[in-house]
Amino acid sequence: MRFIRHPKDFYAGLIFIAFGVAAIVIGNNYALGTAARMGPGYFPRILGILLIVLGSALSLRGLRLHGNPIPAWKWRPTLIVLGSVVLFGLIVTHLGLVISTIVLIVLSSAASHEFRPRESLVSGVLLAALAVGVFVIGLKLQLPVWPWTNSVLPWSN
């Protein structure tokens, strides 16, 4: 395909278009409503239209501008990140949200060639605190925070 000059932009635009079409198709069964009184289908349709417009502009840009070819797929980082997410899902109910989040961040950071254990551990601790704040305290999801507590929060007994 010689007419695709910037493959990254072109294929990213196609992905945006595909997600936009999917949002419109999925939200098609919901009532649209009006701008003043939005129905449940209003946001998916508007978001889908915006994604299609953005994707079209990006794909057209990929046809006009020159860019580097897409590099070869790297399987090791992909498998490490996917494996760490699956591991998080398997251990979150047993080890708690804090430890599971730290394990997720440290293991998925190991996929990078710039991996620094100390920095990923600090990031894991900060993101674990953020996850507890957002999901357990803010959204009140019933996730164990620590493995040794039966309740969600130690002070909630």
Decide if pLDDT at 75 tops 50: yes
| Distance separating alpha carbons of residues 3 and 92, to the nearest angstrom | 48
pLDDT score of 108 more than 90: yes
Q: Which residues of 74-107 are buried (b: 16+ CB within 10 A; e: fewer)?
A: eeeeeebbeebeeebeeebeebbbbbbbbbbbbb
Clarify whether residues 59 and 103 are in a common domain. Answer: no
84 and 58, same structural domain? no
**Are 145 and 79 in a shared domain?**
yes
Residue with tokens 């190991």: 110
| Average pLDDT value for residue range 49-71 | 91
| Higher per-residue pLDDT: 4 or 20 | 20
Whether residue 153 is predicted with pLDDT greater than 60 in this model: the reply is: no
40 φ/ψ angles, rounded to the nearest 5 degrees: -65, -15
Same domain for 130 and 97, yes or no, is: yes
Give the total number of structural domains in the chain: 2
List the domain range (segments joined by +) for residue 82.
Answer: 75-156
Q: Are residues 152 and 82 in the same domain?
A: yes
Tokens of 55: 């994707």
Whether 2 is covered by a domain: the verdict is no
pTM: 0.65
